[in-house]
Every structure is written in structure tokens, then in C-alpha cells.
């Protein structure tokens, strides 16, 4: 995966733990910065609020009247012009560029309200300067909650960052030396003892053990590792010593990829958010015009500039679109965090919106529905089954063919009998001598060439073949002693996932380059009624385009040949065990490599989008109801500020309720 174009500045070529700590410090620093602003602004704004509310609502004078306005102005100055300085700059910049955002209203509302204190002090109009402090302090509170929400949504990333090993034990000139994990280089031989974390991604060159990969797969059972096995950084070695050759470091590791994928999703804008931004850009100048008109008209009819200004300020304050600005990002960030917790990584935020409109889900077969590697599924033996497996595995152990590996794996022998005169018969099978007996393992063609009669097991061979499986016939000294069926096995939960999707009304289709007989057998096992077989990689895109004519399509795949189809589909879902280019092409990535992730992704997108709609509804509904009340002169600026604050807080709280949803 080419992560340069993803701006992976957080992961340098040789970085690991130090960079991860740096990343954590950056996020903590942002939270601390807003926390300081929050505490500082409330220290000054709280006395203002007590003075203002006591005097205006309950007619209780906390301080003498002649000192009230100067005190409010003095206390309000640091809130607005120190703690809120960046907001003022951003808001006023909108008037220069004519591209308005919520900061524009907040900046104008606070400055105008603050200036009323000076006007009132010199006998012109009413004093609303206290409201300015409250506008800014509530905005700062909302920003702090947003940063905290983002931090909590990123909690799973932080946990992953903490999982990385701090130290690595490597071999240098036949000596073991311990170095910081970030100093490991590609090609270094790392020694990992029982109970230790694996420092970085690599391949086992010596030793065997089991490794706890639950942080990646979610599975509690450890995975056996032998020579040639791939291992992932931050997973934990269990019971044996492993010698691992480092193949990926820093930004190229699986852990770094996961972190980057989640971060990308949290920074995305989905279509509905872009719409909200466009509405805000029109909404802000409209409110400014409405406020000015309110002031002019009320002044014209009442002749009271102070009262008119109060109405105009109420309109500005009540319209501050804090809730609108928080509605989408908070829900999306919480949804993204939930997804990462369940192994569903959202690479592109727009997938959240698109997913809910999906009608059809197309599945690649190999590596998606199936495990992507052959397994011995059936055995027919005319001798003791353990003997059949022993001679077969002993012979096949000398072959590198995937079917040979499947037979060796099935036998799981601790000791193999010696094989003499081993020979690979290309396209047909293998032969060799075991204990003085000639053993052949292969297909019909090999048996026919060697003039070995298979009539007595023909019914078994046909049964296996009709199931779309590859059949290996075993003979010893010219006589058939058994047969084994080898096939790409279905993942344990593929059938459950597809059954659930069918029940929920989705159209499920399987697409594969395999022949129709094999495709039908797999499809029948998992409950897919539609298949597209004998498809070349370049034709997958055309098939997706054809199906898209009838509605939105999800494509689920894992291979390089799936990348174009993943891009073409409305939503591409890549399996986490797939190739880098497939993962790069997907909108979502299923880390656990399970099709139940598709079900979870759909449920997550529906739940997240529901929260986004709820947030936007309440943000807009609040403005639609409150603005006319403010324009009519029925809303005190203080009450307007409290209502605006509650609106923002309710949006953030509602977004965080998403965590309770079960996906």
C-alpha cells in the first residue's frame, strides 16, 4: 500500500514507538489546550453569569449598579479576546472571504453584545455585554466536548498504539543484543521468547510457537506459527522461541495501516455534512441580514434603540449554529471509533451514508467467502485412514504444491517415514518409494498412465468431483488404497452472515473465475442463489456496472484482481487479510476477515446515519422555532444563550449515545 499519498507524516520510515508516543501527545495536547481555555474562560464567565442572571432575571444586585457594567466588561475581556481569540479571527475572516461558518456568527454576536456595555455605560441602550462572555464560554465548552468525543472515539487507536513493543532482541554477528523497537531494520533477525510482544511484521525463519493475534482478529485462540509463517507486530508470542526476519517497519506495518485507516475516516466529510456546510454558508449571511432588519424595524416602530439592539442580538445569539457544526462530525467520529472496536475500519466517511442505500451485495469467492487456501475436506480409505494419511503426507511433504501442503496439514504427523526416488509428475501428481513400496498420488490421468484400475472407487471419485472438489487418488504397489478430496473451504461464519443478509432483504451474488460447478457448490453451501462464474478479472468491473443499473452495489473482495471492482462499486469492502492494493481500493476494511463484518458495517452505517439525521433535525428545528421568537422580541438574550448552549450539548450527547447501539 502506498501510504505516501495518504500523508503519513505521523509514521516515518524507521519510526515505531517514539512516533506513536508523539501521536498520543499531539492528541493529549489538543485536549489539554481546550481544557485550559475551558477552565480559564469559566473562571471569568461564571462571575459574569451570576451578576447578570441575578440582576436581570431575579433583580438581585450582586454588586452596586454603577460598578456592574465596568466589572462585566473587565471580566468578559479575557473570555472573548484571549481565550476566544482564535474563534474571533476565524469568524471575522469569513467576512473578508465571504465564506461564512459558525465562527462568523459567534464572532459578530460576541463583539456586538460586548460593545453594548460601552454604549449602555454612556446612557445609550441596554447592556447585553454579559451575554458576550456566555456565547464564547459555551462555544469553548462545546469545542472541548467535541475534542473529548474525538479522543474517546479514537480510544481504540490509542490502545493499538500502546500495544507496540518497546524493545527488540536481534541477532548481530551471532550475538543477541537488545535495541529500541524503532531501530529494527528490514532484514534484521529478531528473537522472540515466550510471553514477549513481536516488535514488527515479519516472517518466521526458525522455531515454532503459537501467537496471540486477538488484537488483530478478535479470536481468543492462539494461531500456530512455524517456518514461513507471517507474524504481525504487537501480537504476543505464547510458548516457543521464534526467529523472525523483519519484513516491514514503521509506517508500513499492519498496525500503522490500521491507525491510518481509522484516522482517515475521522477526517472525512460525508455528503450530508457537505450539504450542512453549504446550508451554513447561506444561513449565516441570512441571519445577519435578518438581525439588521430586526434592529431597523423595531427601532422604527418603537423608537427605542436599546430595545431594538437587544432583539437583534437575541436573533444573532439564538442562531449561532454550534449544534449544526457539531451534528455530523461527532456522530461520524463516534461511529468510526465503534467500527474500529469491532474490526470494521471506515476508510471513507461517505460510505456511512451510501451503505444505507445499498440493495445488492456482490461477493468474490476465493479468500472472501472461502478461506483462500485448499484443505482436505473428505477422505475415502480402503485401508486404515491413519495409514493412508501417513504415506500420503510423507510423499507430499517433499512437494511445494498447495494441495500437497493441505494433505500434510491434514495428517499433522510428528514423524515422517523416509521417502526414496521422489519425483514430481507435472500436472498429474507425485511418486516415490516408502518402506520399499511404490506410492502414487495424483489425478485420473496419472492412474490411467500407470494402468491402475480405479473402477472400484469410481463412485467416490465422481461424488467428490460433482461437489466441485479436486480429487487425489492414492495407490500402493499398483493398487488403489484410497482417495482424498481437496477444496477451498468456506469460512466458519460465511453462511451465517449471508443468511442474515438474505433475511434482511439484500440481493446477494457470488462472482468467481472458477467453473460453474464449483461455484454452484459453494453458493449452495452459504445460501447464495445467484452466481456469476468463469469471470476474468477485467470483466468483474463490467459485471458490477451492469448490476449498478438496478441500484446501489457493495462489492466484497480481497485480491489484486478485485481492486477495480472495489473501486467501481458504490461501496467497496476489502478483507483485512487481502492484498495491499485491495485494501487501498476499499471504502471499508474488515480486519477480522469475517463476512459478519459486512453485517456489522451495514448496521453501523444505519445507526450512525440515524444519529446524524437526529442531530441535524434538532439543530435545524431549534433554529426554525427559536429565530422567529427572537425576531418577535419575545426572547431575552440571556435565555437565548442558555438555549443555544443546551442545543450544542444535546447534539454531542446524542452522538455519544451511539456507543450503546449493538451492531
Distance CA 567, CA 565 (A): 5
Residue tagged 455528503 (cell numbers): 271
Distance CA 589, CA 650 (A): 32
Distance CA 228, CA 494 (A): 27
Give every strand in the sheet of 344-346, ordered side by side.
344-346, 588-590, 571-575, 552-557, 358-364, 507-511, 530-532
Cell of 584: 487501498
Residue tagged 446550508 (cell numbers): 279
State the DSSP H helix or E strand holding residue 243, giving kind and residue range, or none if neither. strand 242-246
Strands 507-511, 358-364: pairing is: parallel
Helix intervals (H) in 207-304: 214-217, 254-267, 271-302
Provide the sign of the torsion angle of the four alpha carbons 530, 535, 541, 545, taken in this order.
negative
State the DSSP H helix or E strand holding residue 195, giving kind and residue range, or none if neither. none
Distance CA 350, CA 36 (A): 34
Q: Could you tell me which of 509, 565, 518, 517 has the C-alpha nearest to residue 537?
A: 565
345: region left, alpha or beta (phi > 0 left; psi from -120 to 50 alpha)? beta
In the set 55, 364, 488, 558, the catalytic residue is 364
Distance CA 29, CA 55 (A): 39
Distance CA 644, CA 319 (A): 8
202-218: string of b/e by CB count within 10 Å (b at 16+)? bebeebebbbbbebbbe
Phi and psi dihedrals of 423, rounded to 5? -150, 135
Contacts of 7 (CB under 8 A, 6+ apart): none
State the DSSP H helix or E strand holding residue 239, giving kind and residue range, or none if neither. none
Q: Hey, which residues does 380 pair with through a beta bridge?
A: 483
Q: Could you tell me which of 227, 155, 228, 245 has the C-alpha nearest to residue 191?
A: 245
Distance CA 628, CA 73 (A): 29
Q: How far apart are the first and last CA of the chain?
A: 29
Give the max Cα distance, the chain.
117
Distance CA 403, CA 305 (A): 89
Distance CA 73, CA 129 (A): 7
Q: How many residues appear in the chain?
A: 663
Locate the DSSP E strands across 38-83.
none
101: region left, alpha or beta (phi > 0 left; psi from -120 to 50 alpha)? beta
Annotation marks residue 364 as catalytic: yes
Catalytic center residues: 364
Amino acid at each position: 500500500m502506498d501510504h505516501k499519498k495518504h500523508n503519513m507524516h505521523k509514521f516515518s520510515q524507521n519510526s515505531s514507538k517514539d512516533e506513536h508516543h508523539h501521536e498520543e501527545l499531539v492528541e493529549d495536547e489538543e485536549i489539554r489546550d481546550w481544557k485550559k481555555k475551558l477552565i480559564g474562560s469559566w473562571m471569568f464567565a461564571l462571575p459574569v453569569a451570576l451578576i447578570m442572571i441575578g440582576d436581570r432575571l431575579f433583580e438581585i444586585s450582586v454588586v452596586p449598579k454603577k460598578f456592574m457594567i465596568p466589572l462585566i466588561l473587565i471580566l468578559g475581556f479575557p473570555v472573548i479576546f484571549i481565550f476566544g481569540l482564535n474563534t474571533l479571527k476565524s469568524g471575522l475572516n469569513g467576512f473578508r472571504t465571504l465564506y461564512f461558518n459558525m465562527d462568523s456568527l459567534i464572532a459578530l454576536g460576541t463583539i456586538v453584545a460586548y460593545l453594548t456595555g460601552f454604549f449602555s455605560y454612556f446612557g445609550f441602550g441596554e447592556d447585553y455585554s454579559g451575554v458576550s462572555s456566555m456565547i464564547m464560554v459555551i462555544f469553548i465548552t462545546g469545542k472541548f466536548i467535541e475534542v473529548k468525543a474525538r479522543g474517546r472515539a479514537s480510544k481504540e487507536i490509542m490502545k493499538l498504539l500502546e500495544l507496540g513493543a518497546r524493545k527488540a532482541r536481534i541477532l548481530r554477528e551471532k550475538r543477541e543484543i537488545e535495541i529500541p523497537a524503532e531501530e529494527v531494520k528490514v532484514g534484521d533477525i529478531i528473537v522472540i521468547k515466550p510471553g514477549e510482544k513481536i516488535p514488527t511484521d515479519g516472517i518466521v525463519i526458525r522455531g515454532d510457537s503459537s501467537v496471540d493475534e486477538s488484537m488483530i482478529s478478535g479470536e481468543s485462540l492462539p494461531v500456530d506459527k512455524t517456518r514461513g509463517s507471517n507474524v504481525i507486530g504487537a501480537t504476543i508470542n505464547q510458548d516457543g522461541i521464534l526467529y523472525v526476519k523483519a519484513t516491514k517497519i514503521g509506517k508500513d506495518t499492519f498496525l500503522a495501516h490500521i491507525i491510518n485507516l481509522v484516522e482517515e475516516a475521522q477526517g472525512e466529510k460525508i455528503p450530508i455534512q457537505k450539504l450542512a456546510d453549504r446550508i451554513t454558508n447561506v444561513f449565516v449571511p441570512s441571519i445577519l441580514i435578518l438581525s439588521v432588519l430586526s434592529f431597523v424595524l423595531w427601532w422604527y416602530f418603537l423608537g427605542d434603540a436599546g430595545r431594538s439592539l437587544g432583539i437583534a442580538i437575541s436573533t444573532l445569539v439564538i442562531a449561532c449554529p454550534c449544534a449544526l457544526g457539531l451534528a455530523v462530525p461527532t456522530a461520524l467520529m463516534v461511529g468510526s471509533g465503534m467500527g474500529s472496536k469491532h474490526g470494521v475500519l471506515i476508510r471513507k466517511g461517505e460510505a456511512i451514508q451510501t451503505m444505507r442505500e445499498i440493495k445488492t451485495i456482490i461477493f468474490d469467492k476465493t479468500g472472501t467467502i472461502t478461506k483462500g487456501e485448499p484443505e482436505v475436506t473428505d477422505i475415502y480409505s480402503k485401508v486404515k485412514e491413519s495409514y493412508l494419511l501417513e504415506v500420503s503426507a510423507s510423499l507430499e511433504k517433499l512437494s511445494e504444491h498447495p494441495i500437497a501442503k493441505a494433505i500434510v496439514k491434514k495428517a499433522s504427523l510428528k514423524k515422517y517415514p523416509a521417502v526414496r526416488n521422489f519425483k514430481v509428475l507435472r500436472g498429474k501428481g507425485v511418486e516415490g518409494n516408502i518402506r520399499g513400496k511404490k506410492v502414487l498420488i495424483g489425478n485420473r490421468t496419472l492412474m490411467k498412465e500407470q494402468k491402475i484400475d480405479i473402477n472400484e472407487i469410481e463412485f467416490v471419485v465422481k461424488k467428490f468431483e460433482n461437489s466441485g472438489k479436486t480429487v487425489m487418488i492414492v495407490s500402493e504397489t499398483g493398487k488403489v488404497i484410497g482417495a482424498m478430496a481437496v477444496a477451498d473451504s468456506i469460512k466458519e461464519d460465511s453462511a451465517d452472515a449471508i443468511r442474515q443478509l438474505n433475511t434482511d432483504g439484500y440481493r446477494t451474488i457470488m462472482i468467481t473465475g472458477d467453473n460453474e460447478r464449483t461455484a454452484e457448490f459453494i453458493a449452495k453451501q452459504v445460501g447464495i442463489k445467484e452466481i456469476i462464474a468463469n469471470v476474468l478479472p477485467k470483466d468483474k468491473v463490467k459485471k458490477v456496472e451492469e448490476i449498478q443499473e438496478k441500484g446501489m452495489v457493495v462489492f466484497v473482495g480481497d485480491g489484486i484482481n478485485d481492486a477495480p471492482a472495489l473501486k467501481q462499486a458504490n461501496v467497496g469492502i476489502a478483507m483485512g487479510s487481502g492484498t495491499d492494493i485491495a485494501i487501498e481500493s476499499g471504502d471499508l476494511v474488515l480486519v477480522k476477515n469475517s463476512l459478519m463484518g459486512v453485517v456489522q458495517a451495514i448496521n453501523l452505517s444505519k445507526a450512525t446515519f440515524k444519529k446524524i439525521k437526529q442531530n441535524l433535525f434538532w439543530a435545524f428545528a431549534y433554529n426554525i422555532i427559536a429565530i422567529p421568537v427572537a425576531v418577535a422580541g419575545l426572547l431575552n438574550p440571556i435565555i437565548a444563550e442558555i438555549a443555544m448552549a443546551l442545543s450544542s450539548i444535546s447534539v454531542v450527547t446524542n452522538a455519544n449515545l451511539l456507543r450503546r447501539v449493538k451492531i
